[in-house]
Structure 1
Amino acid sequence: MPASGKDLVDLLDLDEAGSDSFLGRAARSSRMARTYGGHLLAQALMAAYRTVPSGRPVHSLYASFLRGGDAEESVRYDVTNVRDGQSFTSRRVAGHQCGRQIFELTASFHRDEAGYEHQASMPRVPVPRDAVPLVDALEHVDLDTKSFWREEWKALDLRVIQEREVAAQAAKKGGVAGGPPQPSRERLWFRVRDPLDSQEAALNSCLLAYMSDLTLLSTALRPHGYPFLAPGVQRATINHSMWFHQIVPADQWMLYDKSSDWAGGSRGLATAHVYSPTRGMVATVAQEGLIRPHGVHSAQPAPVRSLHAS
Structure 2
Amino acid sequence: MPASGKDLVDLLDLQEVGTDCFLGQAACPSRMARTYGGQLLAQALMAAYRTVPSGRPVHSLHASFLRGGDAKEPVRYDVTGVRDGRSFTARRVCGHQHGHQIFELTASFHRDEAGYEHQAPMPRVPVPGDAVPLVDALERADCDTRAFWREEWKALDLRVIQEREAAAPPAKNLAVAGGRRLGPATERLWFRVHDPLDSQEVALHSCLLAYISDLTLLSTTLRPHGYPFLAPEVQRATINHTMWFHQIVPADQWLLYDKSSDWAGGSRGLATAHVYSPTRGMVATVAQEGLIRPHGVHSERPVPVRSPRTY
TM-score over 0.5 (shorter chain):
yes
SS state at 1:198 partner: coil
Q: How many correspondences in the alignment? A: 284
Pair 1:138 & 2:138 matched:
yes
Q: Is the 8 A contact 1:212 1:285 kept in 2?
A: yes
Deviates more, 1:133-142 or 1:275-284: 133-142
Q: How does 1:171-250 map to 2 (within 5 A)?
A: 181-250=182-251
C-alpha offsets along residues 188-244 of structure 1, whole Å, 9 cap, x if unaligned? 100000000111110000000000000000000001110111111100000000000
Separation in 2 of the partners of 1:196 and 1:278? 19
Q: Is the 8 A contact 1:236 1:290 kept in 2?
A: yes
Pair 1:25 & 2:25 matched:
yes
Separation in 2 of the partners of 1:116 and 1:31? 47
Letter in 2 for 1:189: W
Query: Which residue of 1 is the match for residue 268 of structure 2?
Result: 267
Separation in 2 of the partners of 1:232 and 1:294? 6
C-alpha offsets along residues 282-302 of structure 1, whole Å, 9 cap, x if unaligned? 00000000000013xx49xxx
Query: Which residue of 1 is the match for residue 176 of structure 2?
Result: none
SS state at 1:182 partner: strand
Separation in 2 of the partners of 1:64 and 1:220? 19
C-alpha offsets along residues 262-294 of structure 1, whole Å, 9 cap, x if unaligned? 000000000000000000000000000000001
Separation in 2 of the partners of 1:181 and 1:4? 39
Query: Which residue of 2 is the match for residue 127 of structure 1?
Result: 127
Query: Which residue of 2 is the match for residue 112 of structure 1?
Result: 112
Q: Is the 8 A contact 2:191 2:257 kept in 1?
A: yes
Separation in 1 of the partners of 2:182 and 2:72? 37
Separation in 1 of the partners of 2:24 and 2:131? 34
Residues 230, 181 of structure 1: CA spacing in aligned structure 2 closer, same or farther, 3 A cutoff?
farther
Letter in 2 for 1:79: V
Shift, 1:163, TM fit: 5.9
Query: Which residue of 1 is the match for residue 289 of structure 2?
Result: 288
SS state at 1:93 partner: strand
Q: Once superposed, what is the RMSD of the aligned Cα atoms?
A: 1.5
**TM-score in terms of structure 2 length:** 0.89
Q: Is the 8 A contact 2:138 2:228 kept in 1?
A: no
**TM-score in terms of structure 1 length:** 0.89
Shift, 1:182, TM fit: 3.1
Q: Is the 8 A contact 1:65 1:104 kept in 2?
A: yes
Q: Is the 8 A contact 1:139 1:146 kept in 2?
A: no
Q: Which runs of 4+ in 1 moved over 4 A?
A: none
Letter in 2 for 1:78: D
Residues 120, 31 of structure 1: CA spacing in aligned structure 2 closer, same or farther, 3 A cutoff?
same
Residues 272, 186 of structure 1: CA spacing in aligned structure 2 closer, same or farther, 3 A cutoff?
same
Q: Is the 8 A contact 2:21 2:79 kept in 1?
A: yes
Query: Which residue of 2 is the match for residue 82 of structure 1?
Result: 82
Query: Which residue of 2 is the match for residue 252 of structure 1?
Result: 253
Query: Which residue of 1 is the match for residue 69 of structure 2?
Result: 69
Shift, 1:148, TM fit: 1.1
Separation in 1 of the partners of 2:293 and 2:163? 23
SS state at 1:48 partner: helix
Q: Which runs of 5+ in 1 are unaligned?
A: 166-179, 300-310
SS state at 2:248 partner: coil
C-alpha offsets along residues 60-79 of structure 1, whole Å, 9 cap, x if unaligned? 00000000000000000000
Separation in 2 of the partners of 1:100 and 1:21? 15
Query: Which residue of 1 is the match for residue 171 of structure 2?
Result: none
Q: Is the 8 A contact 1:137 1:163 kept in 2?
A: no
Separation in 2 of the partners of 1:35 and 1:139? 24
Shift, 1:8, TM fit: 0.3
